[in-house]
Amino acid sequence: MISNNSDVLIETAIAVAGTALQPTFIAGAAIREGKLKVVLPEHEPEPMVLYAVYAHRQLLASKVPSFVDFIDSFFGEPPYWDRFK
C-alpha cells in the first residue's frame, strides 16, 4: 500500500498484519501497546536531528535558553517516544 498519511499506514499494518516503515514517534504507541513490533532493528534509518536556531546577542531574553533547555530535556536521549524499548 502507498499512502502519504502515516496514521493510515499504521492502522493498515495493524489490521492486516503488514509491515510499515514509520518513525517511532508515529508508531511508538502501537509498539508500546503490543499492536506492532519492531522487525530488523539492526537496519534502522539514521536518526533525524533537531536544531534550535536563534540570534546570539548579549541581550538575549532569558526565555530563549530556558526554552532550548526544555526542548533538550523533552527530546533528549532517548526521546520520549522511544522509551518503550
Contact (CB, 8 A) for 80 and 29: no
What does the alpha-carbon distance between residue 5 and residue 31 come to, in Å, rounded to a whole number? Answer: 18
Q: What is the pTM of this model?
A: 0.63
Domain spans in the chain, listed from the N-terminal domain onward: 6-82
- State the pLDDT at residue 4: 92
- Between CA 5 and CA 84, with CA 34 as vertex, the angle to 5 degrees is 85
**How confident is the chain (85 residues) per 10-residue block, as mean pLDDT?**
90 91 89 91 82 82 90 80 70
* Alpha carbons 6 and 3: distance in angstroms, whole number: 7
Q: Quote the CA–CA distance of 72 and 59 in Å, as a whole number.
A: 22
- The grid coordinates of residue 58 equal 548579549
Say how far apart CA 83 and CA 44 lie, in whole Å.
16
